[in-house]
Each structure stands twice: as structure tokens, then as C-alpha cells.
Structure 1
Amino acid sequence: MTVKEANTYNLVADIGGTNTRIALASGERVLPATVRRYRNADFAGLESVIRRYMSDEGNVDPAAACIAVAGPVRDGRAAMTNLDWTIDTATLARATLSERVAILNDLQAQGHALGHIAPDHLREVLRGQPASPEATRLVIGVGTGFNAAPVFTTPRGRIVTPSESGHANLPIRTEQELRLCQYVSTAHGFPAVEDVLSGRGLERVYAFLGDEANDPRDKTAHDLMAALEDGSDPRATDAARLFTRLLGTVAGNLSLIQLPFGGIYLVGGVARAFGPYLSQFGFAEAFRDKGRFGGFMGNFAVSIIEDDYAALTGCANFLREGDGAP
């Protein structure tokens, strides 16, 4: 293996609950040949997986490091529900031997990737109105969980503020949605957005419809998407339609809060899986169903990011901006 010159590349990583992906970046560009995936269960913690990667890449000595994590970050420390690792800047600096390190929420990383994603990795859902390059944008993550992050362009650089939007109350517009909220509350004590708009949330919507029909059945999100594709289970289609309309409602609410005239970007495995179905299941109608502001909602374009490396690219761009590069 070729030994890489010290302090030439930056190390970037995307840490999920099950797997960690790590790569090297040159400026804002992630080097595809250096991307490696590791099962978290095979490692004791962040330090050990990063040191394995650095060894696998010829004992690379990165100039700086930035990681994205699926969880809230505060004061340089990340909290992840499904991963018992110590994830903080001190551990990251020790593991990478880098003086400059950063930890981002995964949605923050996706926000820093905007503008650096190839056009063929963007799927248009709704067309909006032209906007200036400085217009606010919004990233909405729909995958294992749900979250959102606004993206602001300022004279001093890009700012992507974190949130925990998935733990806000699920909105209610119909009697059926009220019953769904009550169904979720019975199990969890609180009807959060993430309890419905996520992979496990789709499973919960399907179970709710079974309960409504006095015909309880369970299916995994993977099986539901397969049934949706081949048309083998009408209830899977009904669950996907209810899921889609709720997603449109929540995305519309978040858009009115942040006014992302620069566009809304859906990310995550569930968002990508639903891409072909959003139009037929009423996403646009639910998104724009805002009474006298219905016409105003036409300002906002909606796209799906279909780039597996987007969080890595965001980490790379965050470090590049920190260097003061143009």
C-alpha cells in the first residue's frame, strides 16, 4: 500500500448506529477509493475503529478530522441512542493525532454538503421558484430516525444549526391522524414525529392500520417497501399513502418555520425509498395544504439527495471552510 504524505489529507467519517464509514478528503472532495465501512459491533469504541482505518490506509496521518454522528452534539460531545461509545473531540483528536477536529450532527453534515453534490444525485420532487445563492435551505432526514437542519449562507460562511425536530409532536389534521397519535401514545406515552416518520415509523403505521381493521399483522420496513413495489399487500400501500401525507404536512410546517427559499432536501434511506411514490401518494398536496398560504408554498422546491457520500462530503466541506478556502 502506498504511504500517504503526512498532513496532506483530512479524515472524515459518518457514524451510524450499526456501521461507520470513514474516508480521506482532499479539500472538499472525498476520495472514493479510500472509503471503508466498519461494523460498530466489531470495535470497542471510536478510537479503535479510527485507528484501524488509519492502519488500513497505510498509517495515514491526517491534517484534520471531522465526523458526523446520528445524534445530538453539545460542547464537543455526541450522544447516540444505539451506540455505547465515547464520542467527543478529545477522543477524536487522540485517535487521529490531529490538532483540528470537529463533531457534527449528521444533518449538519448533510447541510454542509449542499452545493457540492452532483446534479445526477438529486431527484426533483417539487419545483419551486428561483432563489438567490444566499437563500436559506433546509435538510430533512428520514431514515432510522427523523430530523431537520436549516442551512444559512452568511458573509462569514455557512451556518447549519442543529435541532431535534423528530421529537416534536406529530401534527394532527384528520380523525385518522388523531387515532394514529393516540395509538402511538399508548405505546410510547408521546406521539413524536419520529415515531411515525422513520423506518420503524412506517412499520408502526402499518400496525396501526391493522389494529383499525381488527386484523393485526406486522411487517418490517423492508418487507413493506417490497410489497409496495409488487402490489402484493394493499395495506402496505395504504400505510405508504398515510406516511407520505404526514411527511408532506411536517415538511410544509418546517418550511413555514425556516422559509427555505433555496430549497428543501430530503435525505436518508427511507426518503430515498419513497422517492418514486411521493407524487402518487399526495406529498405535494399535503405539503401545500396550508390554507391561505397554500399558494405561498409554491416558492419551495423539494429534492431528494441520492448520494451515499453526502455526509462525508459535508464533513470535508466543513473542514475546508474552516481553512478559509474559497
Structure 2
Amino acid sequence: MSFSAAPRLTLVADIGGTNTRVALADNKVLQEATIRRFRNADYPGLETILREFLAGHADLTCHGTCIAVAGPVAHGVATMTNLDWIIDEPTLMRATGARNVALLNDLQAQGHALGHIVPENLRPVFGVASTDTQAAKLVIGVGTGFNAAPVHETVGGRYVAASECGHVNMPVRNEADLRLARFVETAHGFPGVEDVLSGRGLERLFAFVSTEAGAPAERSAADIMAGIDLNDESGLANQTARLFVRLLGAEAGNLALTHLPFGGVYLCGGVSRAIAPYLEAMGFEAAFRDKGRFAGFMQNFSVAVIEDDYAALTGCAVYLAQQKSE
């Protein structure tokens, strides 16, 4: 008689600017029943969250920990972009008891999840990705912030490069975009991509659109999305969403030309999922391909939206399993 080995469970977490999701994984497989969501504002730091999560799994031996963070990671230390937390590997070891720990940028985790997301959770926008399994891919995250990461297959396994491209200049195509850049730069002295392509970016776009209309106003991102009506082109919510979609298409096209992801461009994050139903009607594809003499070349790229809210957790599990197999 043979017995299956007991699962060697690992702890994975995805820390966004607003919420942290924590779960257990068995090798590369996320244990969805264990997922818990924590509101960051209710906790002083990640260690408190991890201890609270593990308190509900008293008999667990944690064989590894991988954390995805919305911010840069360098030399085993993560600095959150939109949250006043600093996370390092000793903290993870202390909180979980695991000796095998890893920190990833959240977009790196999304990149490692590609190929492990069920087809039903991938919403095609346009195009068909190359069937070449070695072709580069690109993940673009739009949520509390904005970032992107190229995904490469190498002889040593998958490599997902980190970046902070949400903090480069926003795309400017016409005079109205230039006025927008001047409008948003008053917040930080610089018109970054994240200032227009994120949850708060959507709010800034509404403020700009209403100001241009001669009636300055403010709306929350949720209210803007709720106010979209494709039958009312003159509505401020519609105008805001259409501007957002055009800028998103332009910036996604810029990133595609930078990284040549013939294996596909994948949009992820809460704002990406919310705006997904309007991408086709509001001209995303035209903005993506609006690259002058390279417009035809842009047909080499496909775009899809990742509708799996837990893809980053899966990516953490996959990354950790890959590290243990090396």
C-alpha cells in the first residue's frame, strides 16, 4: 500500500496599496479556500497581518514564503510605493518561521502566473498571441498604481524583470494631452503615467475633463465607473473613461514597442478589470496602434485582460516552487 506525501505548504501574499491578500499554496497550486483579505489601513505592518493569518493555521509548518509587493525590491528589501511599509526577508522569516523566503514586485508575480491562469480568466481584447513558447510577454498592472514587467523564457527558467515604469512621463499626443500634463503635475511636480492611469489617475482625469468643460468637479473612481453610459457620449464619466482608455492604449503600445512581447500583452489589476468591458468601444486598439509608420507592425501584438484577482498569489507559488527545484 502506498501513501501520498503530506503537502509541503507555503505561504504567499500579494500586498497592494489598499489591501493585502494572503493564502497557502501546495507547490504551484494555490489553495483558494485559504485566501484571506486584509485592509492595510487596519494594520501597522505586514508582520502583524501574517501572524494573524497563521494564527488560524496553528498546526502549519510553513516551508516557504513568497510575498508580492506594489513597489521596488532591492537586495531583499521591499519599499511600498503607495504605502508606508518597508518589508525585508528577516521580517518574513520571523513572522512565518520559514527559511526559504522571497520578495517580488507585484508585476513580477503576475508574470510568473502566466501559463497557470485558466483560460476562462483571460479576456481577449484583440489579436492572437504567437504560438512560440519562447516569445516574450508583457504584464501591465493598472490598479492603485501603474507598473509593467516583461516576461522572458530562458534556459534557466522564466525571468520577469522588475521596473517602475508607472513613474515615467505620461504619453502626450496632442495639445489637450499637454494641458492635461500641466494639470496633473501640480500634485507632484511631474506628470507621471501613474498620475493618469490608476484609480486616483481616473479621478484626476475627471477633474481635468470637468475643468475643461467649465464646471470643475470631483468624483471617486467608483462613481466615475458607475456613471459610464455608452449611449451618453456627452456625459463627463464617458468622456473621462474614453480619455483613460486612449491614454492606456497609447502607453501599452509604447511598452509593447519597448519590450516586443510577441507572446502577448496582459492587463491586470482592479482598474484594468473594471475598464475591460469598454476597451473595444472606446478605441483602445486604435490608440495602441497609433504609432505612425509602425502602425502596421503593432498588429504583431495581442492584448488580453487577466480577470483572476488572485493571479499574483499563483505567481508567488510558481516562483517559490521554481526556486526550490533549482
| Short-chain TM bin | over 0.9
Asked if 1 retains the 8 angstrom alpha-carbon contact of 2:105 and 2:162, the reply is yes
One-letter code aligned to 1:248: G
One-letter code aligned to 1:299: N
The corresponding residue for 1:99 is: 99
The corresponding residue for 1:173 is: 173
The corresponding residue for 2:315 is: 314
Q: Structure 1 CA distance, aligned partners of 2:308 and 2:152?
A: 21
Name the SS of the counterpart of 1:35 in structure 2.
strand
One-letter code aligned to 1:38: F
Q: Structure 1 CA distance, aligned partners of 2:185 and 2:41?
A: 32
The corresponding residue for 2:39 is: 39
Q: Structure 2 CA distance, aligned partners of 1:317 and 1:155?
A: 17
Q: Structure 1 CA distance, aligned partners of 2:275 and 2:187?
A: 26
Asked if 1 retains the 8 angstrom alpha-carbon contact of 2:138 and 2:259, the reply is yes
Deviation at 1:173, TM superposition (A): 1.0
The corresponding residue for 1:64 is: 64
| Deviation per residue, 1:113-135 (Å, 9 max, x gap) | 00000000000001135330110
The corresponding residue for 2:197 is: 197
Matches of residues 119-130 of structure 1 in structure 2 within 5 Å?
Answer: 119-128=119-128, 130=130
The corresponding residue for 1:269 is: 270
One-letter code aligned to 1:251: A
Name the SS of the counterpart of 2:228 in structure 1.
helix
| Deviation per residue, 1:290-317 (Å, 9 max, x gap) | 1111111111010000001100000000
Asked if 2 retains the 8 angstrom alpha-carbon contact of 1:64 and 1:98, the reply is yes
**TM-score of the aligned structures, taking structure 2 as reference length:** 0.94
One-letter code aligned to 1:217: A
Q: Structure 2 CA distance, aligned partners of 1:24 and 1:286?
A: 40
Asked if 2 retains the 8 angstrom alpha-carbon contact of 1:6 and 1:63, the reply is no
Matches of residues 106-121 of structure 1 in structure 2 within 5 Å?
Answer: 106-121=106-121
Q: Structure 2 CA distance, aligned partners of 1:218 and 1:187?
A: 15
One-letter code aligned to 1:13: A
The corresponding residue for 1:282 is: 283
The answer to whether the aligner puts 1:53 opposite 2:53 as a matched pair is yes
Cα separation, partners in 2 of 1:59 and 1:42, compared to 1, 3 Å: farther
Cα separation, partners in 2 of 1:292 and 1:13, compared to 1, 3 Å: same
Deviation at 1:235, TM superposition (A): 1.1
Deviation at 1:86, TM superposition (A): 3.5
The answer to whether the aligner puts 1:157 opposite 2:148 as a matched pair is no
Q: Structure 2 CA distance, aligned partners of 1:8 and 1:98?
A: 12
Deviation at 1:7, TM superposition (A): 7.6
Q: Structure 2 CA distance, aligned partners of 1:175 and 1:245?
A: 14
Deviation at 1:58, TM superposition (A): 2.6
Deviation at 1:229, TM superposition (A): 4.4
Name the SS of the counterpart of 1:117 in structure 2.
coil
The corresponding residue for 1:245 is: 246
Cα separation, partners in 2 of 1:188 and 1:280, compared to 1, 3 Å: same
The answer to whether the aligner puts 1:18 opposite 2:37 as a matched pair is no
Q: Structure 1 CA distance, aligned partners of 2:6 and 2:67?
A: 19
Deviation at 1:44, TM superposition (A): 3.0
The corresponding residue for 2:133 is: 133
The corresponding residue for 2:219 is: 219
Name the SS of the counterpart of 2:266 in structure 1.
strand
**Deviating more after overlay: 109-118 vs 213-222:** 213-222
Q: Structure 1 CA distance, aligned partners of 2:214 and 2:245?
A: 23
Deviation at 1:281, TM superposition (A): 0.7
Q: Structure 2 CA distance, aligned partners of 1:6 and 1:101?
A: 21
One-letter code aligned to 1:307: D
One-letter code aligned to 1:46: L
Deviation at 1:189, TM superposition (A): 1.3
One-letter code aligned to 2:177: E
Asked if 2 retains the 8 angstrom alpha-carbon contact of 1:7 and 1:62, the reply is no
State percent identity of aligned pairs: 58
Asked if 2 retains the 8 angstrom alpha-carbon contact of 1:17 and 1:83, the reply is yes
Q: Structure 1 CA distance, aligned partners of 2:43 and 2:143?
A: 24
Asked if 2 retains the 8 angstrom alpha-carbon contact of 1:54 and 1:61, the reply is no
Q: Structure 1 CA distance, aligned partners of 2:20 and 2:6?
A: 23
**TM-score of the aligned structures, taking structure 1 as reference length:** 0.94
Q: Structure 2 CA distance, aligned partners of 1:185 and 1:218?
A: 17
The corresponding residue for 2:305 is: 304
Asked if 2 retains the 8 angstrom alpha-carbon contact of 1:129 and 1:298, the reply is no
Name the SS of the counterpart of 2:33 in structure 1.
helix
The count of corresponding residues between Structure 1 and Structure 2 is 321
Asked if 1 retains the 8 angstrom alpha-carbon contact of 2:130 and 2:264, the reply is no
One-letter code aligned to 1:320: A
Name the SS of the counterpart of 1:110 in structure 2.
helix
Q: Structure 2 CA distance, aligned partners of 1:304 and 1:103?
A: 25
